[in-house]
Structure 1
Amino acid sequence: METSRRKRDRYSHDDTAARDHRWVVVDVETSGLRPNAHRVLSVAALVLDADGMVKREFSTLVNPDCDPGPVHVHNLTRERLAGAPRFEDISRDLADILDGGTLVAHNATFDYGFLDAEFRRAGTSLPVQHRLCTMALSRRLELDVPNFRLATLAQHWKVQQLQEHDAYDDARVLSEVFRHSAALADSLQLPLPVVNCRSRRAVHPDSVPRVACDWQNPGRLTDAGLVQGMKVVVSGSTTTPRLTLASRMTVAGLDVMNQVSRQTSVLVCNDPIVQTGKVRKAMALDIPIVDEPQLEELLARVRPGVPKVATVIDVVPQPGMPLETPIVIEQSAAPAEIPARTWALAGQKPRLWSGRRVLLLGGNHLDGVLMRSRITQLGARPALNFTAAVTDVLVLDGGHDDKRMPRVTARQLPILSQEDVDAALDRGVVPPHMRLEAQLSAPVLSRGEVIDLPAKNSSWAVNVAWKAEAVGDESGMDPIDVDVVAFLLGPDDKVDTDDDFVFYNNPLVDDGVVELTVDGPSEQCVRLDLAGLPEDCHRIAIAAAIDGDRTFGDLGAVSVSVDGDDTTAATFVLDAGTTERTMVLTEIYRRAGKWRVRAVGQGYDDDLAALVLRYGVEVAEED
């Protein structure tokens, strides 16, 4: 696995005001979720003026001449699309709208990916250098909302939504949401999360895209021939282009992988005498090796396989089950139409400051680590930035001189002292000047604590963020470059294959079962579909690595939030790092029929290459 990065642009992190950008709000409706396999069915683009008002519009249906997919969502049937132009027919006009602008979208990675794929099919390129995700912006602002769906944000900002999942109406609503959000960010002096969307292209673009296989793996190739579900790996040059060959095998029902593992059924290699890393591993594991002509013969008679049966994971806590930690947190019941947001500790009273968001000003690094730990013990969540969600401010030595104090005073936020924290922990005293009302929020975990994920959700997003100021400062120091990575681990806590290492050059696993997205200069996300994970994946470890000689002591606290579609399962802040360059942030793992989340915070002084070796990733030459 190639872990060293090529030279690439840094993320955009300038502090220019919103009016200094040419914002283009975009929404697309699509036939599916994968840009390389599915198509754009409609697109809308709205150019905003300096005041955030729409000054130019573009909107059209698009006929890709394919199955329109989830018609029940977007209501775009083949009949409605039949008379619409093809994408290549509208690409020039759309490019004129987008050219030189910063693309604004809700889940911008999705919209950018689909437009990029469509422009490539049309024989040109998407003329967009930067993008902004309004989900990332809303998270950075820490808006008091149960989730970050567009409909929820529209309701929060009192924007009327006329037709959900209509590209034009969604873009119109989003332009209003963005205008309000950008204004709030400006008042809080929070930089907007603009990223360079061309900065992290894969070093090896010819890797075979993973496509979910519907058949169980029957094991190794035998004299009886290929069976649907067999895992096949290609090494070295091929007469048929590798991607074309992979597509044919996928259509035949085979599971095409990029790396050799113990589960590999057969390796395809025309010249095994050339000892590539894949060939050496296949020989060591006694995996059959065939050449391309032999593969062609085998493909002519692939036998039917055994369909996979979806595994249902019961995550309801079992009576009498021993706990790994003293604390397991369960979500309280709520009506189906209202997401549950009240949480309680099993067997314990709610913690004294539950629901509050406390910003710490002043003090040194060790003071900050200690006080954030004590704030968490009280049930409050330490805030990394001055956001809309901050309810109280804890001021230590030198904190009154912080540049954010005038805004704290303007918002009339309660000022807490270390004595207030001591009194709360020692005697259960709530300071009289602390606001009586507390915002409802998810449970806040301390390092090492564990929580069960609610049974009703299988899709989760692990959102990782750090101080917005860490991406650059006024001293001219280079921004701190952070990479979030994930490892899909077997029973031995090792990856089965290098494909199970998710990072900037391999951001997608098993057709989106695990996906890494970069949502802002200080925001990255690992999205998980737990129901789609292979049965031999027992644990997902999510970590962060700092490039170069900077450390987690330089970066400061890291925030982790485990978010579902409708609610947040848990949040925690990790800030004990000093000299470490890599850190395991969290683990999501199976235990006794449940999925659980652990706040880890284990750091190491060495780099990303050493971290991946610990998890069994092979650092070897590519072929």
Structure 2
Amino acid sequence: MTMTNGDTEQDALAAEVTEFPFAAVTIQATGIHPSTARLVAVDVLTFNEDGEIGEEFHAVLNPGSDPGPHHYHGLTHEEVAEGQRFSQVLRTLNRLIDGRTIVVHNAPRVWGFIVSEARRAMNAAARTNRSRGRGRGRGRRRRQRVGHVPKPAAIVDTLASARRQQIPLEDTRLAGLALALKVEAESPVATVERARQPEHETTRETNDILIDVFFAIRDNGELSTTLPADLRADRFGLQRSHIRVDAMEAPRPHPNPGVHVIGRNLVRGMEVVVAPEVEVDPDVLIEATLKAELVYSEKLTRTTSLVVCNETTDLRGKAMHAARKGIPLLADTAFLDAVSRVQNRAGR
């Protein structure tokens, strides 16, 4: 059987993935939500079990929109304007990510931006191709082929792994986790010196640290690993589990009876928020919430009945706001025990 150029290329790519089965991915964006912000830089390092680097890739991206503040991502408006379109780098990202286990810090955000930008580029190419197809008298034009949404074998989230391993974090940024794991890294607190460094240097330094953190946290305990097929975008463009997004969109079958009173049973219709500081997989907690006919909410509001959180001191984020509003906190195991005794309103 004769080998084609396509077969040879696929064999070469497969060999590269086998030799360097991991890819560390770090991004810079104009904001926190893929639905409203855009990528302005991406850095990828492929590596193997020994920490040896295979390929290095860095690109500054021009989203064609407001690049946002310089201090947020380290790029000037001029640097962003000179950057490439995401459609120009997507096929390279496909080659570097497809089939590999990618390592990221805060997967909903990082993977969310990559998926969002890939789909935006693909949709733009499809519109252009349809427009060319309708044109007459212009001859045949080559169709745009920008690539596809990357297809990693799995996604490892170092931040979620730290949560599941109950690693205390004074700062949830990657450098904060690195310091908690005794991995060499500078403080995540901003400095004048760091602000003066070029973006490509700071982003690459972060990606180097990400690899070190991956090995350290893997040695420390179980990793939080997700399959891309198990994720989809929420209304902010963050890539969440199907269980979580379904729970956000689920109807409310019962009226909310109000704030939970410690010592009493939970009541159907109560609104539950799950903080990041839990050891049990949040999906398990969310499934238990819906099964007990409680309501899951991603956001803490005045209608929240309780917050599932294992942290009781040095509160931050959702737990801190809950404490300020007088909303009780329940540890994950205590919550799972409590949902087995949920009552209806009349039996409260």
For the pair 1:107 / 2:106, whether they are aligned, the reply is yes
Q: Which amino acid aligns with 1:110?
A: R
1:32 maps to 31
User: Is 2:179 the partner of 1:182?
Assistant: no
Please give the root-mean-square deviation of Cα atoms over the aligned residues, in Å: 4.5
Structure 1 unaligned spans of 5+: 1-18, 212-257, 262-276, 278-323, 326-446, 450-459, 468-479, 488-493, 503-507, 509-513, 515-527, 544-558, 571-585, 615-623
The separation in 2 between residues aligned to 1:52 and 1:148, in whole angstroms, is: 24
Q: Which amino acid aligns with 2:304?
A: R
Residue type of the partner of 2:279?
A
Q: Per-residue deviation at 1:55?
A: 2.0
Number of equivalences: 260
Q: How does 1:385-404 map to 2 (within 5 A)?
A: none
Kept in 1: contact 2:62–2:83 (CA 8 A): yes
Distance 1:160 1:111 in 2: 22
Q: Which residue of 2 aligns with 1:598?
A: 329
C-alpha separation between the residues in 1 aligned to 2:106 and 2:199? 16
Deviations 1:472-526 (A, max 9, x none): xxxxxxxx97242799xxxxxx99xxxx743xxxxx6xxxxx2xxxxxxxxxxxx
Q: 1:464 aligns with which of 267, 274, 278?
A: 278
* Matched position secondary structure for 2:32: coil
Contact 2:178/2:213, CA 8 A, preserved across alignment:
no
SS of 1:46's equivalent in the other structure is strand
1:135 is displaced (CA, Å) by 1.2
Quote the offset at 1:91 in angstroms.
0.8
Instruction: Point out 4+ residue stretches in structure 1 off by more than 6 angstroms.
Output: 258-261
Conservation of the 8 A alpha-carbon contact between 1:26 and 1:46: yes
Higher helix share: 2
Q: Does 1:561 align with 2:307?
A: no
Q: Which of 146, 165, 169 is the aligned partner of 2:202? A: 169
Residue 139 and residue 53 in structure 1: after superposition, are their counterparts in 2 closer, same or farther (change >3 A)?
farther
Q: Does 1:193 align with 2:224?
A: yes
Q: Distance in 2 between matches of 1:180 and 1:69?
A: 29
1:158 corresponds in structure 2 to 184
- Following superposition, the deviation at residue 260 of structure 1 comes to 10
Q: How does 1:249-260 map to 2 (within 5 A)?
A: none
In the alignment, what sits opposite 1:252?
none
**2:305–2:327 contact (8 Å) kept in structure 1:** no
Higher-Rg structure is 1
For the 8 Å contact 2:46–2:96, the answer to whether it is kept is yes
Alignment of 1:482-497 (within 5 A): 482-484=284-286
- CA change 1:154–1:185 in 2 (3 A) is closer
3-state SS of 1:128 partner: coil
Match status 1:137 vs 2:129: no
Matched to 2:277, the amino acid is N
Distance 1:140 1:166, change over 3 A: farther
Does structure 2 retain, via aligned residues, the 8 Å contact 1:486–1:541? no
Which amino acid in structure 2 is aligned with residue 169 of structure 1?
T
- Trace 1:203-282 onto structure 2 (pairs within 5 A): 209=235
CA gap of 1:589–1:198, structure 2 versus 1, over 3 A, is same
1:508-565 Cα offsets, whole Å, 9 max, x none, are: 6xxxxx2xxxxxxxxxxxxx5xxxx4xxx2424346xxxxxxxxxxxxxxx72379xx
Name the TM-score, length of structure 1 as normaliser.
0.35
Q: Give % identity.
A: 24
Q: Distance in 2 between matches of 1:175 and 1:448?
A: 48
Counterpart for residue 304 of structure 2: 539
Change (3 A) 1:594 1:97: same
**C-alpha displacement of 1:101:** 1.2
How high is the TM-score relative to the length of structure 2? 0.59
